Structure 1
Amino acid sequence: MSISGHVQKIGILILAAVLLVGCIGQNEPTPEVTAEPPSETPTVPSFSFLDSGQRLGAARSWDVSLGDLDGDSDLDAFVANGIRGGVGSAVWLNDGDGTFTIKEQDLGYGMGLELGDLDGDGDLDVFIVSWEEAGQVWLNDGSGLFSNTGQSLGSAGGWEVSLGDLDGDSDLDALIAHEKADTVWLNNGNGTFTDTGQGLGVSYTTAGRLGDLDGDGDLDAFTVGWGDPGRVWFNDGTGTFVDSGQTITSSHIYIHGMALGDVDGDGDLDAFVAGSLNQVWLNDSKGTFTKKQDLFCGAGDSVALGDLDGDGDLDAYLAVGDWSRSDDKVWLNDGSGHFTDSGLVLSTDFSSGIGLGDLDGDGDLDALVVHGELGEDSGGGIPNEVWFNEKQPGMSIMWCVGILWPRCANIICLWNSCVFTENLIYNRNLYIVSA
C-alpha cells in the first residue's frame, strides 16, 4: 500500500474512533455525516512548526526576549521567571543551530522584560519589571553575564515594559505597563533612568507597545489591559504623552497582550490584541484605529507578529494561556489584515510569551514559547519549548468530513477553519493528507 493509502486509512480509523467515543452513553440519534467539499478552495499551510524536543528550565516563565547576548551573531534568549521563592529569570545561549544552554547567574524575578543597549556600549542589556519588585536595569558585559545596576524604578506591579527613544536624544527610554497608572522613564544615556512623573491610564494595563502611530516621526504608545478599554497615546516628541481619546476594545474584554505591525500593507502600524477575545485593529495612518476582525478559538495571553509562511506579510503566533487550555495558534494573513486559522496544533500548556526569530540559522522564523501558571497552589512551572519552522513540501488535502452535532460528539471538522458557536464545546480540525 502507498504512503498516501496508509495515511488515508489511519485517518478513517481515527475518525471512526472519535465518533464512537464521543457518542457513548448518549441517547441521541446518530449524527448526519457529510463529505461535500467546501465552496472555496481550502488553504493548506506550506510550513509547520516542529517541536525541537528541548525543554528549557522548569520555572514559571512569563515573558521572553530574543537577541544576541554573547556576541556570536545568533539569537539567545532572556526569560522572565517568577514568582518569588521559585526559579529566577534566566539567560539561555544559542549554539547557532537552535540548541540552548543556560548561562548560570542570579537574575532575580520578572514578569515582563525587553532587551536593548541601555548604556551605549554596543551590547544588549535588559529592563525587567515584576509583580513583586520595582523595575530593574541589568547591564550585559558582552558575554551574556548581567549585573544589576541597583536602580529601583517605580513600584511593584509592572506587567510589561517597552523600550524606544521617546524624547529624541538617541537612547532607549521605557514605558512600563502597570497594575496602576503606566509610567514613562527617560534614559540619561548611561543606563540610569529618570521618572517623568506621568501616569497614563487608570489601572491594570497588561501590555503596552511603542511605535509611530500618527506618522509624525516620534514614538507613540498603544496600551491594553483588564477592565479598561485599550488606549492610544500620542507623543509630542519630548516623551510627554496625550490621550487620543479613542476607545480600543471594550471594558468587558480582558486583554493580556498585543503586537504592532503593518498587517494590511499600507505602510503604517496596525494592532493585534490578544485576550478573552482576539482582535485586529487597522490604523488609518493618522493613529485612528478601526476594528477589522474578531478571532475566536483560544483566549490569547501573548502574540508575536512575523512572516511565518514566507509570503511577505505579517502573520500571528498566538500564545494561548490558562484561560482556555487550548492549543497555541498560528493565524495566517492574506495580506489585507484578514487572518485565517492555519490549523497547526502547537503547544498546549499555559503559554504566556513568545519570541520569534531565526533560531537555527535557516532563514525563517522559529518560536521560543514560555509557560506560566496563575494560582498560589499551582506549584512549579512548565518547561519552555523551542519550535522550528519547517517547510512541508507536497502536502495536499484529499478530503475532510464535517460534522456538527453539539449534543453528541461536540466535534466540528471544517476546511482549515476555526468556528465559534453557542453550543460548541470542543473543536478540532481533521485533515487527511498525502505526503
Structure 2
Amino acid sequence: MRSAVNIRAWSMVLGIATGGLSGCGGSEPVTPTTPAENTPKVDEPTAEVAAPWFRESAAERGLDFQIDAGMAATPRLPEIVPGGGAALDFDDDGWLDLYLLQATGEGGNRLFRNLGDGRFEDVTEGSGLADAGFAMGAATGDYDGDGDVDLFVSNFGPDRLFRNDGDGRFVDVTNAAGVGHPGFGASATFFDADADGDPDLYVTNYVDWSEATELECRNRTGRLDYCPPARYDAPTRDVLYRNDGDGTFTDVSEASGITAAVGTGLGVVAVDFDGDGRRDVFVANDGMPDHLWINQGGLRFKEEAMQRGCDRDLSGVAKAGMGVSSEDVDDDGDPDLIVCNLGGESDSFYLNDGGRFLDATNRSGLGSASRHFTRFGLGFVDFDNDGTLDLYAANGRVGASDDTDAADPYAEPDLLLRGGGGRFVPVRPGGGTDPTPARTSRGAIFGDFDNDGGQDVVVLDLGSPARLLRNVLESRGGWLTVDVRDERGAPAIGAVVRAALGDRMVTRRVRSDSSYLTAQDPRVHFGLGDLDSVATLEVVWPDGSTRTLRDVAGGRVLRVAP
C-alpha cells in the first residue's frame, strides 16, 4: 500500500509557508490558447500500469443510449453543453440504476434498471420518466420524505420534478411542487439548506439565451463554431427553492441572498466548507469568477469566493469553470475542491485550510497534466482501492479542432490520474482503457454498478454511445462501501463517515452531487489497501446523532441506519 496522503505531505509539496490564497473560475476563448503561469511547474512522471484499469462494457451490459444534441451546420449554444444523468437505486434493491438524459427530445430520457449483477434493462416504458424536454442535468433526493429517491431534471426550458411512488413508477409533480423554472438550467443539488430535516433544492442556470440572441462565431480556420458565453453578455441567476415539507417548494432565491451575484453556472456542490455545521454551495461559472455561497443560517447565504480564495486562479484569471468535485483529499478532515476548465487552462485544485483555500494545482501535478484537454465531468475516486483518491476527467472540446477532416472535431481522450504522496500522475494507457477512445465527453457518473468493490464510470458522450467503464484492475486493494440511510430509509445526504485505517482517519461525505450535470452514487466508498477491516467506523448524521462501529469487516456493502 502506498504511503498515506496527509496534510504534512501536502504542506511539503505546496510550500505552504510561502504560499498564498488564490482562486478558481473560467474563461472560454473561441480558440483555446495556453495562458502564461506565474507559478512554477512540476514535471510529473507517467504512472505505467501493466494492464488497463477499465474495460468498456456498455453494450454487453445492456446499456444502450446515445445523446443527440441536434448539432447542425449552424451552431447553437445549447447543443455543445448537455450530457447529464443520474445513478440512483430507485427500487431500493441494493443495486445502482441509471437515468440518462436526452437533449433534442427525440427518444426522450431513459431509465435503466440494474438486474442485480451489473447488467441493465431499459424500463422507461411505463415508468413515467420518458420526458422529452431538452435535458441538461439531474439531481436526486427524497424531497417528500417517504423513503424513496425522487428525480429532478434541469432543462433548457422548464425544469421537471418526478416523484418516486415506490412501485417503479414516477409522477411528474413539477407544477404542484412549484419548481418549473423556465431558464437554461444546468447542474442542481438537493441539500438541507435550513437544517429543518428536509432537502431543499439549488439549481444553477447557465446563460440567458434564445434563438433570437444567437451569434455567429468562427474559429481560426474560418469555420462556423460555438460562441463562448462571454460573447452573449447574458449571465443569469441561480434558483434556490425551500422545501415546505408538504410536497411543495417556495422560491427563496432573492430572500436568501443568492441573487446578489449573476453568473454562468455549470457545476455545483453543496458542502460544509467552513465546518460550522451548515452546508454551503460552490458554483463553477463558465468565464466568470466562481461563487462560494457561505450559509449564514436562517436560510441566508453570502458570496465569499474571493475572500476565501476560490474565485480565480493564482494569476487572477477567471477560468471556464465546468465540472466540480469535493472530497477530503489530504485527510485533514475538511473538504477540498477541484474545478475543471477549458483546454489551455489547467484544473483549479484547492486544499481547504479551515474554510480558506490554498491553490495546489501546479505543485500537485494537475497544472501540467490537465491543461491539454477541455474537461467536463470529473471526480475524486479511489479506483485502485489503495486508500488514496485518484482523479478521472471526461474530456471534449467546445471549439472545433484545426483538423477539418476529423470525423468529430470536438473529440478528445479522457484523463485518469493516480493519486499518492500529495501528487497526481497520468495513468497509461490514457484514461485507463486500451484502446483509448477520443469522444466529445460531458457528464461522468461514478459508482460501483456491479457491487464488486471496484468503482466504475459511466461517461456520456455527444453523438456517441454512452460508455460503461467497468473497473477491471486486478491489483485493487481491499474495500468497504457504507450505505448510510436516514430514519425514513433514504440516503442520508449530508452525513459524514470517518474510517480509521491504520494510523489515518479518512473522512468521506454522503452526497449525490458533483461532476457535471450528474447525480452520483450516494454510498461512501473506502479503499482499504492491504487491510481487510476498518478498526473504527463513525457515522455522523446531519442532526448530530452518531453511531460508532468497531472492527468492521471489509469486502462488502454495509447499510447503516440511525
Establish whether TM, by shorter chain, passes 0.5. Answer: yes
The answer to whether the 8 A contact 1:175-1:184 is kept is: yes
Change (3 A) 1:287 1:193: farther
- Given candidates 72, 76, 80, the residue that maps to 2:93 is 72
Equivalent position to 2:242, from 148, 173, 186:
186
Residue 420 (structure 2) aligns with: 334
1:271 to 326, 334, 337: 337
Q: Deviations over 1:245-293 (max 9, x none)?
A: 4123465521211111111221111111112132211111224343433
Q: Supply the distance in 1 between the matched residues of 2:290 and 2:101 (Cα, whole angstroms).
A: 24
Q: CA deviation at 1:40?
A: 7.0
- 1:374-420 deviations in Å (ceiling 9; x for gaps): xxxxxxx32212110012459xxxxxxxxxxxxxxxxxxxxxxxxxx
- Distance between the aligned counterparts of 2:169 and 2:44, measured in 1? 57
Is the CA contact 1:118–1:172 (under 8 Å) kept in the aligned structure 2?
Answer: yes
Give the letter aligned to residue 196 of structure 2: D
| Closer, same or farther: CA 165–45 of 1 in aligned 2, 3 Å | farther
Gaps of 5+ in 1: 1-37, 373-380, 395-435
- Could you report, residue by residue, the CA deviation over 1:291-349 in whole angstroms, capped at 9, with x for unpaired residues? 4332323210111221111111222221102345211111221153x221112244522
Q: Classify the secondary structure of the residue corresponding to 1:91.
A: strand
Equivalent residue of 1:92, what SS?
A: strand
Match of 1:171 in 2: 198
The aligned counterpart of 1:311 is: 386
Cα contact 1:316–1:331 (8 A) shared by 2: yes
* Residue-pair matches, total: 346
Rate the CA distance shift 1:121–1:39 in 2: closer, same or farther, 3 A.
closer
Mapped to 1, the partners of 2:298 and 2:374 lie a distance apart of 37
Is contact 2:98-2:113 (8 Å) kept?
yes
CA distance in 2, matches of 1:41, 1:340: 6
Runs of 4+ in structure 1 off by over 6 angstroms are 38-41
Amino acid at match of 1:81: Q
TM-score between the two structures when normalised by the length of structure 1: 0.74
Residue deviations 1:148-198 (CA, integer Å, cap 9, x gap): 003243222111101111110111111111121112111122442111033
Gaps of 5+ in 2: 1-42, 69-81, 207-235, 399-409, 477-562
% identical aligned pairs: 27
The equivalences for 1:3-402 within 5 A come to 43-44=48-49, 48-54=53-59, 55-60=63-68, 62-84=83-105, 86-105=106-125, 106-109=130-133, 110-131=135-156, 133-151=157-175, 152-179=179-206, 180-198=236-254, 199=259, 201-246=261-306, 247-249=311-313, 252-276=318-342, 277=345, 278-293=347-362, 294=367, 295-323=370-398, 325-334=411-420, 336=422, 338-343=423-428, 344-345=432-433, 346-372=436-462, 381-392=463-474
Whole-Å Cα distance in 2 between the matches of residues 127 and 69 of structure 1? 13
Q: How much does 1:354 deviate?
A: 1.2
SS at match of 1:169: coil
Partner of 1:265, secondary structure, is coil
Q: Tell me how far apart the structure 2 counterparts of residues 220 and 213 of structure 1 sit (CA, whole Å).
A: 6
Q: CA 1:39 to 1:236, structure 2 compared with 1: closer, same or farther past 3 Å?
A: closer
Q: Measure, in 1, the Cα distance between the counterparts of 2:44 and 2:326.
A: 34
How many angstroms apart in 1 are the aligned matches of 2:162 and 2:136? Answer: 15
Aligned Cα root-mean-square deviation (Å): 2.4
Larger Rg belongs to: 1
The alignment partner of 1:261 has SS state of coil
**What is the deviation of 1:83?**
2.5
Q: CA separation of 1:58/1:264 partners in 2, compared to 1, >3 Å: closer, same or farther?
A: same
Of structures 1 and 2, the one with the larger relative CO (CA 8 A, separation 6+) is 2
